[in-house]
Chain A
């Protein structure tokens, strides 16, 4: 199996498990309590508010051949491209529309920042940025892959069951559109990253397994730990 196929199959498995998860189905059904929608919005904001910084990190590690798309992705997030819409602002607009007051939105920003801080203070298991960068790249591009497929349905469920307007849900519609391109570029970036940094296939596979040992979407959006590959998980 090529690296591209391997990675794409992981993204598909992660996305499929997320789409079929009990918690997402509950939100889709409209039977979840209002708090469940708000908790989801809060965690979504915390996950993505600092995406520009994460992309800046990836840009700094990017192999020359994929540096431009990553830079463009980062500029898009910052609202410094032609569209001129900063994605963190879209998330905060979503939070405001969902009833998060100024203090609560400030808390979301602080929590997102603390995740970044944690990323910097937690010990790194890998020996170099080469491996650590790959774990970040895999997770970021997996999110883009998922959002290109589920961004619109998730936006629709929030419109239907949480009463949010299309303007409030622009972050989802925007991602469902631009991430189709980002998803393809992301796969290219992973393949090029693996080639440029001369990963051995065994190591690449092991790192991929480590990144996707849990469902990354359930973990980030719902703080749920769901093992995706019980027989092959990291064990200590």
Chain B
């Protein structure tokens, strides 16, 4: 099975409320959605997010990486043998191997890899009529999600906590920073009572000394885990904090690559890995990290990026259901946060944070392409130049954008992108090669 073309949608979906934490604030989703189309006409969707403070990617560099590096590799690959392999996990491994590995100028091109990897998985599975659940057999029949309370005023935080209590959520994560973190947690504990599990996430807001004091104080309020109290740095610093902390430590920004994971394990720096698909480089690499965590006796939190659409939510649902050692799951916020999500059926969890397994082909969701187009700031289409047999009348060959088509004979998308010839959105942009 070969892939005939991909389309990249650079989304801008408004949030119904701005989301803030100690390193970033955002009021819209800037997800990158990739649609791949196989030679048999099957379509699959993937999604990645650019977070410069996590992987080092920006929206522009992420898109350029797909155009320049990943798409040419996908266009060259034949996935026929992969999709026929009787070992389902071989599909994930082979797709991962088909994508080139570079980290030039960033921590990792994981958002870009995730978008392509998930789109390929969705496409190849749909082509066979198989659910992702076939590859990742569920260890549980329901996935239970946590609520996340953003930073902001104390009044708003308490109010949000009450919403979540009304929704029956059993797990809450509280974003904290240097402004009254202990008082914040105390107020929320008072509002929700003692039956709800609380965690905190500082997104690296504290220095090691302050973090130690804050974690000691938070222990009085029944906090079950503290995520990334200090910034991404040497694992030894986190390990030192862990020794003195009465609260289990979760590594998030410190854990982007498998090498990061090994270093954290070697340093005994944490109790939990926070795995996020787009941060970790897709499903295969997330599973690798989860396996590493399990072998080291660590537990897992399956997190999410703010602004994920139904695509990453669905992929996350499958992974969460599959993992043995997952204690906390985040995401699937869909239209609770987005003005509109892109799937026909909602992926939002229900009362208690409970969500069912997805059983349809591929990821198990139906993407509404009209919604993608409605919220796309830029649309970039790339097709394979080498197979004119699949070139149909009216279809743009090689590169097209939502500013019109650019048929460039004899040039690959990568060469065009390097030459800065892709027009993106309303403005001509040169993608960094």
Residues of A within 8 A of B134 (CB): none
Among A125, A202, A213, A235, contact of B149 (Cβ-Cβ < 8 Å)? A235
A124-B351, A235-B152 are known contacts. Are A213 and B346 too (CB-CB below 8 A)?
no
In the complex, what's the smallest C-beta–C-beta distance from B166 to chain A, in angstroms? 6
Are B351 and A234 in contact, CB atoms less than 8 angstroms apart? no
Among A126, A206, A210, A236, contact of B337 (Cβ-Cβ < 8 Å)? A236
Residues of A within 8 A of B339 (CB): 214, 225
Are B14 and A225 in contact, CB atoms less than 8 angstroms apart? yes
Are A232 and B351 in contact, CB atoms less than 8 angstroms apart? no
Among A125, A203, A213, contact of B350 (Cβ-Cβ < 8 Å)? A125
Cα–Cα distance between A127 and B337 once the two chains are bound (Å)? 20
A127-B168, A234-B336 are known contacts. Are A122 and B348 too (CB-CB below 8 A)?
yes
Which partner residue on chain B sits nearest A214 by CB separation?
B16
On chain B, which size bracket covers the interface?
20 to 34
Contact with B along A83-123 (1 / 0, CB 8 A): 00000000000000000000000000000000000100111
Are B346 and A121 in contact, CB atoms less than 8 angstroms apart? yes
Which partner residue on chain A sits nearest B356 by CB separation?
A123
Residues of B within 8 A of A230 (CB): 17-18
Cα–Cα distance between A231 and B337 once the two chains are bound (Å)? 14
Are B162 and A234 in contact, CB atoms less than 8 angstroms apart? no
Residues of A within 8 A of B349 (CB): 123, 125
B340 lies within 8 A of chain A by Cβ: yes
A121-B346, A225-B340 are known contacts. Are A231 and B156 too (CB-CB below 8 A)?
yes
Contact with A along B1-35 (1 / 0, CB 8 A): 00000000000001011110000000000000000
Are A123 and B348 in contact, CB atoms less than 8 angstroms apart? yes
Among B19, B350, B352, B354, contact of A235 (Cβ-Cβ < 8 Å)? B19
Interface size on A, residues (CB 8 A): 26
Residues of B within 8 A of A125 (CB): 167-168, 336, 348-351
Among B14, B152, B160, B352, contact of A234 (Cβ-Cβ < 8 Å)? B160
Cα–Cα distance between A79 and B336 once the two chains are bound (Å)? 36
> Which residues of A183-207 are within 8 A (CB) of B?
202-203, 206-207
Residues of A within 8 A of B153 (CB): 231
Cα–Cα distance between A118 and B347 once the two chains are bound (Å)? 12
Residues of A within 8 A of B16 (CB): 213-214, 225, 227, 233-234
Residues of B within 8 A of A126 (CB): 166-168, 351
> Which residues of A119-144 are within 8 A (CB) of B?
121-127, 131
Residues of A within 8 A of B162 (CB): 202, 206
Cα–Cα distance between A23 and B167 once the two chains are bound (Å)? 34
Cα–Cα distance between A126 and B148 once the two chains are bound (Å)? 17
A124-B350, A124-B351 are known contacts. Are A235 and B17 too (CB-CB below 8 A)?
yes
Residues of A within 8 A of B168 (CB): 125-127
Q: Which of B160, B168, B355 is most buried by chain A, counting CB atoms within 10 A of its CB?
A: B160
B44 lies within 8 A of chain A by Cβ: no
Are B156 and A232 in contact, CB atoms less than 8 angstroms apart? yes
A127-B168, A231-B153, A235-B19 are known contacts. Are A206 and B348 too (CB-CB below 8 A)?
no
Cα–Cα distance between A20 and B383 once the two chains are bound (Å)? 46
Cα–Cα distance between A235 and B355 once the two chains are bound (Å)? 19
A202-B162, A230-B17, A231-B156 are known contacts. Are A123 and B346 too (CB-CB below 8 A)?
yes
Cα–Cα distance between A123 and B166 once the two chains are bound (Å)? 15
Q: Which of B147, B159, B160, B346 is most buried by chain A, counting CB atoms within 10 A of its CB?
A: B159
Residues of B within 8 A of A206 (CB): 159, 162-163, 166
Residues of A within 8 A of B352 (CB): 127
B345 lies within 8 A of chain A by Cβ: yes
B131 lies within 8 A of chain A by Cβ: no
Which partner residue on chain A sits nearest B146 by CB separation?
A236
Residues of B within 8 A of A118 (CB): 345-346
Given contacts A121-B346, A127-B352, A234-B16, 5 further A-B contacts (CB under 8 A): A123-B350, A123-B355, A126-B351, A232-B159, A236-B147
Query: Could you jot down 27 A-B contacts, CB within 8 Å?
Result: A122-B345, A122-B346, A123-B346, A123-B350, A124-B350, A124-B351, A125-B167, A125-B336, A125-B349, A125-B351, A126-B167, A126-B168, A206-B162, A225-B14, A225-B339, A227-B16, A227-B17, A231-B156, A233-B17, A234-B16, A234-B17, A234-B163, A235-B149, A235-B150, A235-B152, A236-B19, A236-B148
